[in-house]
Amino acid sequence: MSLRRVSVVLALTVAFAGLVALGIALLVTSPGDEVNRVFSLWIYQALVVLSVAIAAARAISVRRDRLAWSVIAFSLACSAFAEIYYEAFEPEAYPSIADVAWLAFYPVLYVGMVLLVRKRARSIAACDAYIAMTSSRPFRLPRSSEDALAELERAAGTQFDPNVVRVLAANVRDGQEAEDAA
């Protein structure tokens, strides 16, 4: 296993363990209890900051999704700032700068998610087009696999992601070679 994968698994394990500990502490203690206060303040804040770190690490490690994960990490940082600022400096619920950070969390997270989905949608388009061209339709006969791949390769870089088309073509051709050999 690579070092990057080990670090991601370790971070997710720590986050899950902290979440379980927080849940257990909140279930077995009363609201005014000091143990509840420690868990609800410190452990929860640590988990919020850890979520920012995980999203930022994802932004650093995955080049093609860097912008999307950076925006998601920023939105989580807004939420973390709001939580920490509210707990540390404003125990009374008046409108504050924490409210601005909490409100910024949602639209910024939405933008990050849209960016992430748009990257994934480009890969779906090439596969969907291949299936549509090679399937039988009421208004036309199916194209051969080679004709469909040639059409995808012509449109690579303009309509379809060139990397996805390259991988799709290699997999289809490898599958055909395996069928021919059998």
DSSP string, 65-133: THHHHHHHHHHHHHHHHHHHHHHHH--S----HHHHHHHHHHHHHHHHHHHHHHHHHHHHHHHHHHHHH
pLDDT of residue 181: 64
Question: Is the pLDDT at 81 greater than 80, yes or no?
Answer: yes
Residue 135 backbone dihedrals phi, psi, to 5 degrees:
-95, 155
Contacts of residue 13, Cβ cutoff 8 Å, sequence gap at least 6: none
Sorted by where each begins, the domain ranges of the chain are 3-113, 123-181
Q: What is the pLDDT of residue 91?
A: 65
pTM for the complete prediction?
A: 0.64
- Greater pLDDT, 163 or 19: 163
Q: Which of 19-23, 83-87, 167-171 has the highest mean pLDDT?
A: 167-171
The residue count for the chain = 182
pLDDT digits (tens, 9 = 90+) for 6-60: 777 777 787 778 777 767 766 666 666 666 666 667 777 888 888 899 899 888 8
Mean pLDDT to the nearest integer, 167-179: 81
**pLDDT tens string 106-151:** 999 999 999 999 877 877 888 899 999 999 888 889 999 999 999 9
